[in-house]
Amino acid sequence: MISRDRCGLYAQAARQGAPQAKQVADRFHIVQNLRQAIEEQMNLHGRATGRALLSDADNITAAGSLLKSRLAHKTSRKEIFTTIHALRNLGLSCSEIGRRTGLPRRSIAKWLQFETPPDRRRAALKWTSPWYFEEFLRQSWKDGIRTGSALFRLIRERGYEGSQTHLQRLLAGSRRAEQQASDPKVEHEILKPVRDPETGHAISPVIAAALCIKPRGKLTPDQARKVDALKADSPAFATMRCFAMRFNGILRGREADPLPAWIDEAIESDLAPIVRFARTLNRDFDAVKNAIEMPWSNGQAEGQINRAMYGRVGPELLRARMLPFRHTD
């Protein structure tokens, strides 16, 4: 038995090194891949269209779309600013304003010190951000290197310390920008952000994706309110939540017979990230089937080694984990 994550290279190595072994895809990574597909779809809402590698000169259509999303974000901040000051003029305290708006008390106190909405400062870029390599990525994109794995490998050689997921989010913005440039009709797919009905704040794609795969019985009242708003204002979210709940049921039911039908229906949907996810399940069907029906998992290896060491490994930490403790009198 070989338990592994979803990386194709691991599957290939297992087939070559131990062709007689049964491969088992790790259940955590399967669900994680589904969550990432949902997040990618929700990125089509509002300002989450994403920054693109293409500059304004390269693509005026894409730049126009990006500019509109930035202006929408700025307008949203101005509305919040105006609301805070209006409530303050009514004599309300920062705590009461916080209860009514859902904003942290510290943020309210800080915004009350300004006469106009403060601009959000961009944090200094670090080696963990793909934007640290913006110029190199832009040139590589123009040169025709556009697959996430190839670009990830190239910037890793130049010192990138972040994940491939962060890079893929960046590249998704560029692909959408190019698609809009070639077909302006695509712009209608960029929808308004779904807002929390209680606070009025836009629900981020990351939060939406996490809530989409969480069963109703495990949602807090605040999370349930967000899910209901997302289902009401985003048909794509409602569809993906149905897919996610059915998929969770298949995983927990330990019976893989319903999986082929689920894959077929997902592939027939008009949600491109879900279609891609379903196709990868189909290509890796035997390992996914084994993950559903068998108890094996590499979760312990992930938790004890990867999660504890990733990004922090060094001689001292490695020595502490690998060598026995010495007792001194």
327 vs 187, higher pLDDT: 327
127, part of any domain: yes
294, part of any domain: no
In order, the DSSP letters of 288-317 are HHHHHHS----HHHIIIIIHHHTTT--HHH
Which whole number is the average pLDDT over 97-106? 78
116, part of any domain: yes
The tokens of 78 are what? 């101005």
- From CA 29, how far away is CA 24, in angstroms rounded? 11
Contact at 8 Å (CB) between 277 and 271?
A: no
219, part of any domain: no
Residues 2-49 pLDDT 10s: 988 877 788 888 889 999 999 999 888 899 899 999 998 888 764 433
Contact at 8 Å (CB) between 174 and 55?
A: no
Q: ∠ CA 296-253-259 to the nearest 5 degrees?
A: 90
Mean pLDDT (the chain) is 79
Nearest Cα to Cα of residue 24 among 10, 4, 49, 41: 4
Instruction: Determine the structural domain holding residue 174 and report its residue range.
Output: 49-189
- From CA 120, how far away is CA 101, in angstroms rounded? 19
Nearest Cα to Cα of residue 69 among 147, 176, 183, 159: 176
In order, the DSSP letters of 250-270 are HHHHT--TTHHHHHHHHHTSS
171, part of any domain: yes
Task: Give the confidence band of 74 by pLDDT, cuts at 50, 70, 90.
Answer: low
112, part of any domain: yes
- In the three-class reduction of DSSP (H, G, I as helix; E, B as strand; rest coil), residue 195 is classed as strand
What is the number of structural domains in the chain? 1
Residue 247 confidence (pLDDT) above 90: yes
Instruction: For residue 126, give the amino acid letter.
Output: K
Residue 314 confidence (pLDDT) above 80: no
166 vs 254, higher pLDDT: 254
Residues 205-232 pLDDT 10s: 889 999 999 999 999 999 999 999 999 9
Residues 172-185 pLDDT 10s: 767 666 666 665 55
For tokens 């990868």, the residue is: 280
The tokens of 28 are what? 């955590």
- From CA 174, how far away is CA 182, in angstroms rounded? 12
- From CA 260, how far away is CA 138, in angstroms rounded? 40
Q: What is the pLDDT of residue 54?
A: 46
Residue 82 confidence (pLDDT) above 80: yes
Which whole number is the average pLDDT over 47-57? 43
Share of the chain above pLDDT 90, in %: 25
Which whole number is the average pLDDT over 124-142? 83
Task: Give the confidence band of 120 by pLDDT, cuts at 50, 70, 90.
Answer: low
CA distances to 50, 83, 114, 202, 325 from 109, in Å = 30, 13, 10, 21, 50
Question: If you ran DSSP here, which 8-state letter would residue 17 be given?
Answer: H
43, part of any domain: no
55, part of any domain: yes
Instruction: For residue 127, give the amino acid letter.
Output: W
